[in-house]
């Protein structure tokens, strides 16, 4: 295994609002042909992530809910480890259960009278409208295990800071995703990547690691890889911060999957 691709989904492999990956299919097919694992590393849930894996036809290991859970599909696990697995996935959990996060947010909301709305408070139809997700994916998106996306209704910057302070005390993490704030245990996508690579051992660690992301919650993951690629459609509010923190990153200014496709082909050509 010479290469491993680690990629964010929202606004990176998937286009904004339409969640379309088809512009990246030529690069995906080329990676599959070369046997390069494509590790999804996302804030999405297990169900959503598996549905995208099925659509592009891969069964590679993946990370869900901003590093809360690591899943290794049975086929990949058995080939890689040479051992039988009795369940559909080998699973490693790093996260705090979503119910505990939900209760924490509502205790803050009550104490400071800041109305909050989490993914769990949206009806599936409403969430589909808000996010542009098709209804069947909106249903899967509500099945949170370790990371709860939310918005502060009428929330000011001051209230966001107050919440961040209170969360820090409890050892929770608040991160900005593309559209929502996210609360989780104190793990990042990079913690889960490190954990996964430790578990997978030498074969994984010796490969050249390519990372693709668009947002601040990708920063540590992009710092971990050998070749960081920032995918940024126009109007990405995090672009300057990412550029500053990752001076050696390659920047692609096209929309997610278009940039993804270009970046992978450029890279394969240069190696």
Considering the rule CB under 5 A, would residue 214 count as an interface residue with Mg ion? yes
Beta bridge pairs of residue 116: 152
CB of 117: closest distance to Mg ion in angstroms?
21
Considering the rule CB under 5 A, would residue 8 count as an interface residue with Mg ion? yes
Closer CB to Mg ion, 217 or 262, in the complex: 217
- Residue 139: is it exposed, middle or buried by C-beta count within 10 angstroms (0-12/13-18/19+)? middle
Closer CB to Mg ion, 145 or 218, in the complex: 218
- Residue of the chain from 49, 215, 236, 261 that contacts Mg ion (CB under 5 A): 215
Residue 227 CB contacts under 8 Å (≥ 6 apart), including other chains: 208, 209, 210, 211, 250, 267
**DSSP-assigned letter for residue 119:** G
Closer CB to Mg ion, 142 or 189, in the complex: 189
Q: How many CB atoms lie within 10 A of CB 196?
A: 21
Considering the rule CB under 5 A, would residue 145 count as an interface residue with Mg ion? no
Residue pair 213/225 in contact (Cβ under 8 Å)? The answer is no
Residue pair 120/142 in contact (Cβ under 8 Å)? The answer is yes
- Residue of the chain from 7, 11, 49, 175 that contacts Mg ion (CB under 5 A): 11
Q: Which residue is nearest to Mg ion (CB)?
A: 10
Phi then psi for 72, rounded to 5 degrees?
-120, 110
CB of 260: closest distance to Mg ion in angstroms?
11
Q: Taking Cα atoms as reference points, which of 73, 72, 93, 74 lies closest to residue 85?
A: 74
Closer CB to Mg ion, 87 or 234, in the complex: 234
CB of 61: closest distance to Mg ion in angstroms?
19
Beta bridge pairs of residue 261: none
Considering the rule CB under 5 A, would residue 15 count as an interface residue with Mg ion? no
Closer CB to Mg ion, 48 or 108, in the complex: 48
Considering the rule CB under 5 A, would residue 48 count as an interface residue with Mg ion? no
Residue pair 267/227 in contact (Cβ under 8 Å)? The answer is yes
Considering only residues 69 to 128 of the shown chain, the ones binding Mg ion according to CB under 5 A are none
CB of 115: closest distance to Mg ion in angstroms?
26
Residue pair 178/214 in contact (Cβ under 8 Å)? The answer is yes
Considering the rule CB under 5 A, would residue 10 count as an interface residue with Mg ion? yes
CB of 215: closest distance to Mg ion in angstroms?
4
Contact positions toward Mg ion, by CB under 5 A?
Answer: 8, 10-11, 214-215
């Amino acid at each position: 295994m010479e290469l491993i691709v680690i990629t964010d989904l929202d606004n990176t492999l998937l286009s904004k609002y339409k969640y379309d990956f088809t512009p990246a299919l030529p690069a995906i097919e080329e990676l599959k042909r070369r046997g390069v694992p494509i590790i999804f590393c996302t804030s999405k849930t297990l169900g959503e992530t598996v549905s995208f894996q099925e659509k592009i036809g891969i069964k590679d290991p993946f990370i869900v809910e901003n590093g809360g859970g690591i899943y290794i599909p049975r086929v990949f696990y058995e080939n890689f480890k040479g051992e039988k697995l009795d369940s559909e996935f080998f699973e490693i959990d790093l996260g705090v259960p979503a119910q505990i996060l939900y209760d924490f947010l509502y205790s803050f909301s009550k104490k400071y009278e800041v109305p909050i709305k989490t993914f769990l408070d949206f009806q599936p139809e409403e969430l589909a409208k808000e996010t542009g997700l098709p209804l069947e994916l909106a249903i899967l998106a509500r099945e949170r295990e370790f990371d709860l996306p939310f918005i502060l209704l009428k929330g000011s910057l001051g209230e966001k800071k107050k919440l961040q302070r209170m969360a820090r005390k409890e050892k929770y993490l608040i991160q900005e995703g593309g559209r929502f704030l996210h609360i989780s245990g104190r793990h990042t996508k990079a913690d889960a990547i490190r954990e996964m690579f430790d578990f997978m051992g030498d074969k994984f660690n010796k490969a050249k690691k390519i990372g693709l992301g668009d947002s601040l919650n990708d920063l540590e993951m992009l710092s971990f890889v050998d070749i960081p690629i920032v995918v940024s459609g126009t109007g990405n509010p995090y672009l300057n911060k990412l550029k500053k923190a990752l001076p050696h990153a390659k920047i692609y200014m096209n929309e997610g999957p278009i940039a993804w496709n270009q970046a992978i082909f450029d890279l394969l050509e240069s190696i």
